[in-house]
A = this chain, B = another copy of it.
C-alpha cells in the first residue's frame, strides 16, 4: 500500500473481511510524503501489522519517480494520459512489489494479497493489466514454498476494472478517510494539481461529484 486513493480504498475493502498485514515499499521515490499517508491509513484501519520496506530503486532509475535525470510530465491534457507509457512508469515496479508481498505472505501465512492496481486510468502501465496479475499469480505458485506445498497465495485486485471516479465512490461508501491520502508525484507541502496523478485524482472527484478534502497549490 502506498498512501494514495487506490491503496486506501483497497485497504478498506481488505479490512472488512480479513486480518491485514500491510506492506509499504519505500522505493526512494521523490514523493516520500506518501509514506506518512500510508502510516496514517494503517493506523486508521487498525491493521495487524505494517511494514515499511526499503528498496533502493534509485540504483536502477529510469523513471521520473526514481531518477533525478528524468523529468516529471506536467501540463498534459487528460486525453493524453494513458495513450503512452508515461515517464512515471517505474520499470518492473509492481512485479517487484508483488514479489515482496508474496515473500511476506509466506512468512505471516497469509492466503491472499490485495493490491490496489488499476487498469483503467493507468492503461499506460503494463504491470497494472489483468493479464499481468494472472500470470504473476501462476509464477508465484511455481516459485514459492507455499505454492509447491499446495497452498498457493491468491492475488486479489478489487480495483482493477474500476475508473478513478468509481474507486472514489466506492471509497466514499466505505468511509475511506480521503483527507489522509496523498496522490501528488511532486512531493511539495501541498499537492501540485498539475502532475498526471493530481489530474486524474481531481478529475475522478469531479466525475464522482464528491469534494476532494486535500489542499492544492493555488
Residues on B with C-beta less than 8 A from A174 are: none
What residues of B have a CB within 8 angstroms of the CB of A131 in the complex? 142
Are the C-beta atoms of A145 and B61 separated by less than 8 Å?
Answer: no
Name the residue among A56, A100, A103, A140 with the largest chain B CB count within 10 angstroms.
Answer: A103
A65 CB, nearest partner CB in chain B, Å: 12
A206 interfacial contact with B, CB 8 Å: no
By beta carbon, the residue of chain B nearest A93 is B103
A51-B59, A52-B59, A55-B54 known; A127-B143 Cβ under 8 A = yes
- A183 to chain B minimum Cβ distance, whole angstroms, is 23
Interface 1/0 per residue, A84-117 and B, CB below 8 Å = 0100011111111001101110110000000000
Contacts of A90 in B (CB 8 A): 103
Contact pick for A135, options B106, B126, B138, CB 8 Å: B138
Interface size bracket, A side: 35 or more
Contact B107 A99 (CB under 8 A): no
**Are A95 and B102 also in contact (CB < 8 A) when A52-B59, A126-B144, A142-B129 are?**
yes
Please provide the chain A residues from 127 to 158 with a CB less than 8 Å away from any CB of chain B in the complex.
Answer: 127, 129, 131-132, 135-136, 138-140, 142-145, 147-148
Are A92 and B103 neighbours in the complex by a CB distance under 8 Å? yes
The smallest beta-carbon distance between A101 and chain B, in angstroms, is: 8
Tell me if A120 is interfacial: C-beta within 8 Å of chain B: no
Tell me if A71 counts as interface (CB < 8 A to partner B). no
Quote the shortest CB–CB distance from A25 to chain B (angstroms): 10
Q: Can you offer 17 A-B residue contacts whose CB atoms are under 8 A?
A: A51-B59, A53-B60, A60-B107, A62-B103, A62-B107, A90-B103, A91-B103, A91-B144, A92-B102, A92-B106, A92-B144, A94-B143, A95-B99, A96-B99, A126-B144, A131-B142, A132-B143
